[in-house]
Amino acid sequence: MDGQKFSGKAILLGIAGVVVVLVAISSYFSIEAGDRGIVLRFGEVNRVVDPGARFKIPFAEEVVRMTVRVQKTTTKTEAASRDLQNVQTTMVLNFSIDPTKSGEIYSTIGLNYNERVIDPAVKESFKAAAARYTAEELISKREQLKTEVRNFLRERLNIYGINVVELSITDFEFSAEFNRAIESKQTAEQNALRAKRDLERIKVEAQQKIASAQAEAEALRLQRQVISKELIELRRIEAQMKAIEKWDGKLPNVTGGAVPFVQLDKLQ
């Protein structure tokens, strides 16, 4: 009997020891860096704990881990521009959870804050901003548009304890009709630019010809200014000398009329 009692007590002690170990294990938990621990007591938020080794009441408390690192969400949305053109875009938002408000976020929103808060806010902000721009301005003023949407989101999401880090607009998609209109406009602008360059080239060439003609006229004017009577007489004498050099000493044969008289003494 004593042996059976001892054996029964040993079993009970063993079971108790196992229970104690299980309770101790279930009381211990750890939170990694970049996370926060939401401690729920009977399903309600009791406290928020920082990273490290922590303890909780077994069976009465449970822990939900929520990251406070920078996260990324991608939202596809569409809107109408000021000139009533439909535009589709993809927006990438980098955000983080405010650690001091993580318990409140879990209580009011839960862990699916992307679907419940962030995505609707991104779509709403883009629709509000796009309505102030024409379709072409959405392309040419993308940075300005991005700044407006980002500022709107910061104000809107800060209420929920969500911090906006950065926003990117990756692409715009318009209707096929609008794309063709843009291509036609770009072609017309390129043709107009080419015609303008040709006109400028023609003007430059004309100015060069005018300058050349003016230079030639000025050269002739200067040349006329240096011509004197002495220069004319010198040129006449040079012409006579060349004629004498070419004469072969024979008088021309004539059948009638006067015979030209040559002063031979002047030729000697």
CATH of domain 71-174: 3.30.479.30
Q: What is the pLDDT of residues 36-68, one digit of tens each?
A: 999 999 989 999 999 999 888 888 889 999 999
d(CA 217, CA 200): 26
Residues in the chain: 268
CA distance 123 to 126: 5
Alpha-carbon span 77 to 95, nearest angstrom: 18
Local structure of 91: helix, strand or coil: strand
Q: Using alpha carbons only, give the angle 156, 161, 164 rounded to the nearest 5 degrees.
A: 60
- The tens digit of pLDDT for each residue in 64-109 reads 999 999 999 999 999 999 988 889 999 999 999 999 999 999 999 9
pTM above 0.85, yes or no: no
pLDDT digits 0-9 by tens, 10-41: 676 667 666 666 666 678 889 999 999 999 99
Domain positions in the chain: 14-67, 71-174
